[in-house]
Structure 1
Amino acid sequence: MKSAVEALLFASGNPLTVDRLKGIFDDVPKEQIEEQIASLRREYDARLSGVMIADVAGGYQVVTRPDLAPWIRKFRTVKVSTRLSRPALETLAIIAYKQPITRTEVEAIRGVNIGGIVRNLMERRLVKIVGKKDVPGKPMMYGTSVDFLQYFGLKDLSALPTLKEFTELEAGEDILEETAGQGPDATDTGHDEGSAPAALSEVAEAT
């Protein structure tokens, strides 16, 4: 069974939850599935494997180890089209930390129109509509998606660096770039260096 769990985690392009795996293995208890995953993790660690099983978006996924990212970057060519622009990353950071938040509220922080940027983030499935604000006009409220967690390799939103942690870092340190480097696709973060601090600074000042 352990080999089957490993094969499924490897073959899946997305994180697999224990519930999803249980549906495949029928009557196998969740505890047994979790033990197989824990056993695989121990085996990977024991042999200093180049891959690991990461907690991503509420599930499990086989990913390359973050410390091997420099070697993989040499092997792969990151397409410019997959990268988020600085304005997009700044907008995404604000939504991530202030969600649920309306477009007008984001624009008040950034000081520019973000209509096109929000559409782009929604097309990439990093941002989604999470409801309507109970004020005149009922504006849409936005939040991050499961794809956002997977993109940055986060188990859940609690794994985001806090604003206090950010302010204690040296100027110019790219938090989201660092976070993404620990995720499932550490070799293809799709970020422009130096863009996250500006976004988080704006959020911190507005908080």
Structure 2
Amino acid sequence: MHIDKMEGIIEAILFAMGTSVRVSDIAKVIEQNEATTKKIIRNMMDKYDCEDRGIKIIELEDAFQMCTKPSLYNEIRKITVQPKKVVLSDVLLETLSIIAYKQPITKAAIDQIRGVSSNHAINKLIDYDLVEDVGRMDAPGRPLLFGTTEAFLRNFGMTCLEELPDVKEEELEKFKKEAESEVQLEINETD
């Protein structure tokens, strides 16, 4: 195998892994012994250090890792933002559940199921990139239809919507009875 090909493979491995990779593992892939592999990687390290590159390779015991150069920290900071912590309240979870199971669904249908306006909840879920506008219903007024996003799948550890847990009929009945008793309590409290 040509040295350029081996360097390309090493670069791809280190980039893709994002963490340190043991020399022994890299050596197996490029079909070289560990001493030769270390020599190739250290040569690559020298190349990255000599050139105006944004990355470098660091050695960690018997492993190597690709990372950004510390001298470019300020430039990186200009483009990155602190990720906002997403806190899903009960209202947001309820609205998200309705959208996930009933999608595509209109805001009016969500409001009808929940019994209250869902404007704020839908807007928050859109801000969190868990829900998106997926089109318009072919009906008078052409209301927006909402569905979940790829970020929803990633955040909930699913690869597709078919992985949503099934809601058993007994559970639906239990939820329905709980909701009816809550409504009855509210009626009794207002009397």
TM-score normalised by structure 1 residue count = 0.44
Higher helix share: 2
Highest RCO, 1 vs 2 (Cα 8 Å, sep ≥ 6): 1
Larger radius of gyration: 2
